Structure 1
Amino acid sequence: MLNENFLPVLHIGLAGLVFQLSVIAAVGPQNVVLLKQGVKRWGVGLVVSVFILGDLILLPLGTAGVSVVTDKLPVLLEILRWGGVAYLLWFAVTCLRDVRHPTGIDSTPRDYTPESGSPAPAVSTDLPAPTADYPHGGVGQVATITRTIPRRTDAPLRPRRRQAFAALPTALAVTFLNPAAYVDGIVVFGTMANQYDDTGKWMFTTGAVLGSTLFFLVVGYGARLLSRPLSRPRVWRWINLGIGLLMIGMAARLALG
C-alpha cells in the first residue's frame, strides 16, 4: 500500500508528465524533424538523443532559474505567472483555430537515390527470333526472361549514414536555437513548476522529463505507424481540440494559483 504522503507527490509528477505531453504534442519544428527522420529510419537515435538532452537541460534550468530569481524578486513571479497565462491562452487559441482548418503532417519519405556508379537493376526480355514454324517469333513459343540482379554491396549504407549525421545540425538548431523552446522550457514551464513546494516542483520536473522522453521515443521509433494517421487532417482536428481545451484548463489553474 502506498504511503499517503507519497500519493500527492506522485500526483504532481503525473501532472508534470501530462503538461509536458500536451505542450510537446503540438506541431512544431522538432516534431516535423522527428517524424521525417523516423519515417526514413535514418539517424532516429541521434535526433531523439538531442531532443531528450535539450529537455534535460532546459526543464531543470527553468525550474531552478525561476526559483532563484523569484526568491530575490517575488514580484517577478507574478509577472511570469501572468505571462505564462497569456502564452497558454495564445497557445490554446492557435490550436482551436486549427480545428476549423486542420492540416496533417507530410512525412512521406523521399525515394532513395543510389550513388553514381552503382549498378541499377535491369530487366530484359529476350524473345526467340522468327522461324518457319513460328513466323511471329515469341507468339506460340516459350519466352525467356532474363533478369540482371546487381551484386549486393554496402554502398547504399554510406548515403544513409551521411543522411543520419546531416540531421544533427537541424536537430541541434530546432532545440537550442529555437526561441519558443526557451519560452516553453524555461519561462512557462519554470513558472508552472514553481507553483509547488521544493519537493513538488522537482517531482513536476521529473514527470515532465519522463513525458518528453516517452514522446520522443514513441514518435521517433513509431513514426512509420504514426505517419498515416498524422497525415489526416481529421485526426489533427481532434488533437488540436484536445490540446486547446487542456491549455485553457492549465491557464485557468495558473491564473488561480
Structure 2
Amino acid sequence: MLTESLHTALTGLFFQLTVIVGVGPQNIVLLRQGVRRWGVGLVVAVCTLGDLILLPAGTAGVSVVVERMPGLLEILRWGGVAYLLWFASTCLRDVRHPTPIDTSGTAPGQDAVLPASGSGDTDLPTVGTDAGHTGATAVATLPARTAVRSRAVTRLPALAALPTALAVTFLNPAAYVDGMVVFGSMANQYEDAGKWVFTTGALVGSTLFFICLGYGARLLSRPLSSAKVWRWINLGIGVLMIAMAARLAMMG
C-alpha cells in the first residue's frame, strides 16, 4: 500500500514537472526576478500559492463543472490565447530594444537612501574624541529609527514584484485551463485517496521547480543579465508563446 502511494505521488510529481517546465509567463517573470535579485522569495510564494489553489480545485471536481459548461471552457481557452499572444508581443518588442537587467538588488526607480548633509539624524556612526579620556575615541550608536528605516527600504523591492506575480498567476486564463481542467482530468483517473496522493506529489513538484528556477536564476544573475543574452531569450520566449497560443486555440 505504501509503495503504491509512493508510486502515485511520484507520478504526480513528474507529471507536474513535465507540464510546468514549459516556458510560460509565470516562469519568465520568476526568471527575471531571479536575475534582478529582488523579490524572488515573494514571487516563488505567489506562484506556489497559485498551484496550491488551482491543482486541488481541479482535483476536487472543478474540471467536471467546466466540462459540463463548455461555454465557460471556451471563454477560458480564448482568453488564454489572447493572453499568450499579448505576452509574446511584449517579448518580441523587447527583442528590438533589449536592455540589460539590473542586478543591483533594488527595485526600478529605487535609489539608495543617504543621510542629508548636516542633518542631526545621520545614519552613519560618528567618531570623535571622548572628553573624559584623552586620545580615546567613541563611536555613537545608531538611532533606533535608522534601523526601522533600513528595514522598510529593504522590503520595498520585494513588494514591487507583487502586482506582476499576482497577474501572471491569477489573471492568466491558460493557467486555469492547465491547472484545473488538464490536471483535474489527470488526477481524477485515480480513485478516492489516490487522486489526492497524486495531487500532493504534483504540489511538491511545483514547489521544488519554483524554488530552483527563482534562486537558480539568482545565482546565475551575472551571465543572464546582459542585453545580448536577453535578446535571444525574448526571441525564443516570443516564438514559444505563439506556439502555445496556437496549441491552445486548436484544443477545441
State the TM-score, normalizing by the size of structure 2. Answer: 0.59
How far is the alpha carbon of 1:215 from its aligned partner? 1.8
**1:4-54 deviations in whole A, cap 9, x for unaligned?**
x668656513323324x434234x5x6665544x1xxxxx4xx22222222
Partner Cα distance (1:90, 1:59) in 2: 22
Question: 1:22 — aligned with what?
Answer: 24
Where structure 2 has 5 or more consecutive residues not aligned to the other structure, the ranges are 105-109, 123-139, 189-194
| CA displacement 1:156-215 (0-9 Å, x = unmatched) | x97865432222432444444x4x421338634223321312435554444333322222
Q: In structure 2, which of residues 42, 45, 49 is the aligned counterpart of residue 53 of structure 1?
A: 45
Which residue of 158, 163, 171 maps to 2:153? 163
Corresponding residue SS for 1:14: helix
Equivalent pair of 1:35/1:107 in contact (CA under 8 Å): yes
23 and 9 in structure 1: CA distance in 2 versus 1, 3 angstrom threshold: same
Pair 1:98–1:70, CA change in 2 (3 A): closer
| Residue 244 in structure 1 maps to residue 234 in structure 2 | no
What is the 5 A alignment of 1:109-124? Answer: 109=104, 114-117=114-117
- State the percentage of identical aligned residues: 9
Question: What pairs up with 1:6-21 in 2 under 5 angstroms?
Answer: 9=12, 11-19=14-22, 21=23
How far the C-alpha of 1:81 sits from its partner, in A, is 3.6
**In 2, Cα distance between equivalents of 1:10 and 1:32:** 25
Pair member with larger Rg: 1
> Do the aligned residues in 2 keep the contact of 1:52 with 1:212 (CA within 8 Å)?
yes
Which aligned pairs between 1:36-185 and structure 2 lie closer than 5 A?
36=36, 38=37, 44=38, 47-68=39-60, 70=62, 73=65, 75=67, 78-98=70-90, 101=93, 102=95, 103-108=97-102, 109=104, 114-117=114-117, 161-176=151-166, 178=167, 180-184=168-172
CA displacement 1:127-172 (0-9 Å, x = unmatched): xxxxxxxxxxxxxxxxxxxxxxxxxx999x9786543222243244
The corresponding residue for 2:216 is 218
TM (normalized to structure 1)? 0.58
| Contact 2:81/2:245 (<8 A) preserved | yes
The number of residues matched between the two structures is 207
Distance in 1 of aligned mates of 2:81 and 2:182: 14
Maintained 8 Å contact 1:59/1:205: yes
RMSD: 4.3
